[in-house]
Chain A
Amino acid sequence: DSGVTQTPKHLITATGQRVTLRCSPRSGDLSVYWYQQSLDQGLQFLIQYYNGEERAKGNILERFSAQQFPDLHSELNLSSLELGDSALYFCASSASQGGETQYFGPGTRLLVL
């Protein structure tokens, strides 16, 4: 158990809908990272937040957004969903804004029908 929690575990929705994925980092960790794992693209970095502020952006679509709240939990919002958004979404956390090990949560499996 990494100490990173993600909810829900599974999510099934329809095209065009909007969903919110939630992540709670390990106790004391200030950075949260989001990754997408799909069969064709592999594991891709989406975005990093540190202590409530966005720090780095990867291959995140404009239809996707994230935020980190004062209690340090983070949410990833996916809107106007398409079939190709079906994937496993991982959250990771680390103690600082860079240079520390990232610990991964169990993931949220999203299926868009």
Chain B
Amino acid sequence: GDSVTQMEGPVTLSEEAFLTINCTYTATGYPSLFWYVQYPGEGLQLLLKATKADDKGSNKGFEATYRKETTSFHLEKGSVQVSDSAVYFCALRLTQGGSEKLVFGKGTKLTVNP
């Protein structure tokens, strides 16, 4: 079935380090792909998205490129900050006949130390 696999955490980095969180998916058809972020004690916020192959989503210094050939949507940031500490979720959107659902990965907890 449709699924998302993302790298297990937790990930601990120093400020200004480079971040990569891997995400691969299995889906029939051509799903849209998302990264959501959950800060401590809060709900999920949309970080970025890509709706078709080769699209690059970007926001707040984060980027991810929709790679159909490798079924991947890896999240990257060149220089992380302490304020980026959160849980990051990769998700795909399945839309069919007037219905829709998001399928999430298990989440990757990122801690950035000063």
Any A CB within 8 A of the CB of B45: yes
Residues of A within 8 A of B107 (CB): 42-43
Q: Which of A45, A50, A106 contacts B101 (CB 8 A)?
A: A45
Give the residues from 39 to 53 in chain A that come closer than 8 angstroms, CB to CB, to chain B: 42-45, 48, 50
Q: Which of A31, A43, A99 has the most CB of B within 10 A?
A: A43
Q: Which of A2, A31, A44 contacts B100 (CB 8 A)?
A: A31
Binding site secondary structure of chain B: strand
Contact of B100 with A107 in the complex, beta carbons under 8 Å: no
Residues of B within 8 A of A31 (CB): 100
Cβ contacts A77-110/B at 8 Å (1 or 0 each): 0000000000000101010011101111111000
Contact of A55 with B100 in the complex, beta carbons under 8 Å: yes
Contact of B100 with A104 in the complex, beta carbons under 8 Å: no
Binding site secondary structure of chain A: strand
Q: How many residues of chain A are within 8 Å of chain B by beta carbon?
A: 27
Q: How many residues of chain B are within 8 Å of chain A by beta carbon?
A: 20
CA–CA, A106 and B42, complex, Å = 5
Any A CB within 8 A of the CB of B67: no
Cβ contacts B22-45/A at 8 Å (1 or 0 each): 000000000000001000001111
* Interface pairs A-B: 7 shortest CB-CB: A56-B99, A98-B100, A43-B104, A98-B95, A104-B44, A45-B101, A55-B99
